[in-house]
Chain A
Amino acid sequence: MKEKNILGNIVKILTTIFLILPLAVSIVYSFAGQWTSILPKNLTLRFYVEQLTNTQFLTGILRGIVISIIPVVLVNAMILLTLFAVIVYFPKMEKYIQICCIIPTTINGIILATAILSTYSGSSTIFSNRIIMLIFVYCVFCLPVTYQGIRNSLYAVNTKTLLEASSILGANEFYGFVKIIVPTVMPNIMNTALISFSGLFGDFALIKIIASSQYETVQTYLYKNRNTKIQLFCAGVAILLILTMIINLMVHKIASKKCGQTAKEETEE
């Protein structure tokens, strides 16, 4: 038993090192002024200052956030309303909705983007706009995770019974859905949205194929400048990491507040 534990711990430590090492090296590198021997000659925050005063980098971050948030919000709203209709009015449609939402998992992102590009780029519809095209590609991209997350949450809180209870108390279904169901499942929705957001924020392949010339996010900016100065690149990666962690923490904080944990503490006080 003890031997098994030791072996398990060794595997855990090696895996952690394997995962953290590139990141740790990048962060150490981002602080290195000059690095010509085994250890860096001096440490500096110069590259961080340089990145944080670089308007292209900052605009890229902002663009990355905007282009990731819009599809996430759109898909969440769409799936919530669809599942509300399915649960309340058309329960038999659920399997078809599920099939539609899961299909994108079977399609490779690059193939999806290329196919959409060749279909819509020459058309005279609104979808020929690269930014709009990108938003909808991202919508398709985060559809399966969002659907599965929201669906599981709605069934976990027994949506139908809660809506029936609210109906008996005088509320119509939509009012009950907005006042009871949405706030109840909001922590789970936020967690699912965070997964989708992280996936989209970290993307540079799809954006490069569809809209690189028109819409430069921080990912495409870093990719473009990866060979200019390596410490600068590493500082950019470190800043993005910190930013993602802050967003994660904020979402978790809000989600746990919505869960009523804070309320519980307040009541206990």
Chain B
Amino acid sequence: MKYIEIINVKKSFGKTEVLKDFSLKIDEGEFVSLLGPSGCGKSTLLRCLSGLESVDDGMLVLDGENITDVPAQKRNIGMVFQQYSLFPNMTVEKNLSFPMEIQKIPKEEQKKRIDDVLEIVGLSEKKKAYPMMLSGGQQQRVALARAIVSQPKVLLLDEPLSAIDAKLRKNLQIEIRRIQKELNMTTVFVTHDQDEAMLMSDRVCLLNQGKIEQVGKPVDIYTRPKTQFAASFIGRYNVLSQNEFQQIFGKENSVEAMTAIRPETIHMSREPEKSEKSYMVQGTVTDSISVGNILHYDIDVNGVNLRVDTLFRSFALYQNGQKVWLSVEKRNCLELEE
């Protein structure tokens, strides 16, 4: 039996079905990200797990106990919200002692746990501060500390980094992962940012319209997307119909499915480099954007646009309108499920 089991869960708001027969199993100590676009049901699933929303059908099991009808207060789950939701009338210390007061944990033990957890999040000196006196990043760390101080069975994170600037966000991503590993706490993380999910998770669960599109390790999801949605959502995949594939490479793909090609697997050169293992075509550069050390090219090949990513190298720069040769290994042309 797995630590968390979400079994055939259904949830609707009015006539809108948000979760459709959703099932997922999570191991103890695992960090699972629920990834998907807005409205795909990831936050609803998290709220159902926390007990803030009831499920219409299905079952939720935590550590062998059926928690489907257990109220939120009694589930022993920690949660960090997008807006932090720190209690503005309480100091950091009081915020942290709040759940332990309810659990009637002795004062001495409370004090020890608060000190320990504040040290973990690096905010020992902010014990007496009020939330309004802290920066966004500090507030987020306090929210995390409050969620873990009562030693919950599961930690739920609902887009906790979406309101934080890019640089701090990167640091907090690493910090949250470090704390999760340190405490070996089972964590379910909701995000719409695929980079964030890839960086932090043991497993990524990609959701679309209330259903699981694909579950797997980040690298598997990235290198082997199974569906057109997965390929479109993860990275900048070129997703080609059979006609487009034929238009570009002049050959029919073996099956009638869509084909996905990762932009960085397409090799660009000034001269053709023939190989039996690769498709080789000529195209024209229509646009290029530099993002840090990566160059994103748009190449027109027989009227179809292909996205190609290369490392920024001064000796291999191409201008708009320039003719280039593209080669892509056949094994990198991934067939997608219908």
List A residues at the B interface (Cβ < 8 Å): 157-158, 161-162, 164-172, 175, 179-180, 183-184, 258, 260, 263-264, 267
Q: A167-B72, A179-B98, A267-B133 are in contact. List 20 more A-B contacts (CB 8 A).
A: A161-B83, A162-B87, A165-B79, A165-B85, A165-B87, A166-B87, A167-B52, A167-B73, A168-B50, A168-B78, A169-B150, A170-B73, A170-B99, A170-B103, A171-B73, A172-B73, A180-B89, A183-B89, A263-B130, A264-B133
Closest 4 A-B residue pairs measured CB to CB? A165-B85, A169-B99, A170-B102, A183-B89
CA distance A260 to B86 in the complex (A): 14
A57 to B99, CA, bound (A): 52
Q: Which residues of A contact B81 (CB under 8 A)?
A: 161, 164-165
**Any chain A CB within 8 A of the CB of B174?**
no
From 100 to 145 in chain B, residues with beta carbon under 8 angstroms from any chain A beta carbon are: 102-103, 128-130, 132-133
**In the complex, which of the residues A258, A263, A264 has the most CB atoms of chain B within 10 Å of its own CB atom?**
A263
Please state if A169 and B102 are interface contacts (CB–CB under 8 Å). yes
Answer whether A184 and B88 are a contact pair too, CB < 8 Å, given A168-B50, A170-B150, A267-B128. Answer: yes
B10 contacts chain A at the CB level, 8 A cutoff: no
Report chain A residues within 8 Å CB of B51.
167-168
Number of interface residues of B (CB under 8 A): 30
Interface centre among A168, A180, A183 (most CB of B within 10 A): A168
B296: CB under 8 A from chain A?
A: no
Q: Among A158, A171, A184, A258, which residue has its beta carbon within 8 angstroms of that of B98?
A: A171
Chain B residues with CB below 8 A from A164, complex form = 52, 72, 81, 85
Which of A166, A170, A172, A184 has the most C-beta atoms of chain B within 10 angstroms of its own C-beta?
A: A170
Question: B207 — which chain A residues lie within 8 A by C-beta?
Answer: none
Using Cβ atoms and an 8 Å threshold, which residues of chain B touch A267?
128-130, 133
B77 CB within 8 Å of chain A? yes
Q: Which residue of B has the minimal Cβ distance to A267?
A: B128
B146 CB-CB contact with A under 8 Å? yes
B85 and A161: CB pair below 8 A?
yes
- A168 to B146: give the CA distance in the assembly, Å: 11
Judge whether A158 and B83 touch: CB under 8 Å: yes
- Determine the chain B residues whose CB is within 8 A of the CB of A162 once the complex forms: 85, 87
Question: Which residues on B sit within 8 Å (CB–CB) of A158?
Answer: 83, 85
Cα–Cα distance between A158 and B84 once the two chains are bound (Å): 11
- Cβ-neighbour of B132 out of A165, A167, A170, A260 (below 8 A): A260
Closest chain B CB from A269 CB (angstroms)? 11
- In the complex, what distance in Å separates the CA atom of A168 from the CA atom of B79? 7
In contact, B52 and A180 (Cβ under 8 angstroms): no
**Which residue of B is nearest A260, CB measured?**
B130
CB of B223, distance to nearest CB on chain A (Å): 37
- B87: chain A residues at CB < 8 Å are 162, 165-166, 180, 184
Minimum CB–CB distance from B276 to chain A (whole Å) comes to: 59
Q: Closest CB of chain B to A260's CB: distance in Å?
A: 5
In whole angstroms, how far apart are the Cα atoms of A179 and B50 in the complex? 22
Bound together, the chains give a CA A258 to CA B89 distance in angstroms of 8
Residue of A162, A169, A179 with highest tally of chain B CB at under 10 A: A169
18 residue pairs bridging A and B, Cβ less than 8 Å apart? A162-B85, A164-B85, A165-B79, A165-B81, A167-B51, A167-B52, A167-B71, A168-B51, A168-B52, A168-B73, A169-B99, A169-B146, A170-B74, A170-B103, A171-B98, A172-B73, A184-B87, A184-B89
Considering the complex, give the chain B residue whose CB is closest to the CB of A161.
Answer: B85
Complex Cα distance A79/B87, Å? 22
Q: Which residue of A lies closest to B103 (CB)?
A: A170
Residues of B within 8 Å of A170, CB to CB, are 73-74, 99, 102-103, 150
Residues of A contacting B88 in the complex (Cβ-Cβ under 8 angstroms) = 157, 184, 260
Chain B residue with minimal CB distance to A171?
B102
Would you give the shortest CB distance from B186 to chain A, in whole angstroms?
16
Residues of A within 8 A of B130 (CB): 260, 263-264, 267
Chain A nearest CB: distance from B117 CB in Å? Answer: 14
Question: Residue of A at shortest CB range from B96?
Answer: A169
Residues from chain B with a CB closer than 8 A to the CB of A258 are: 89
Best-buried of B71, B73, B132 by chain A (most CB within 10 Å) = B73
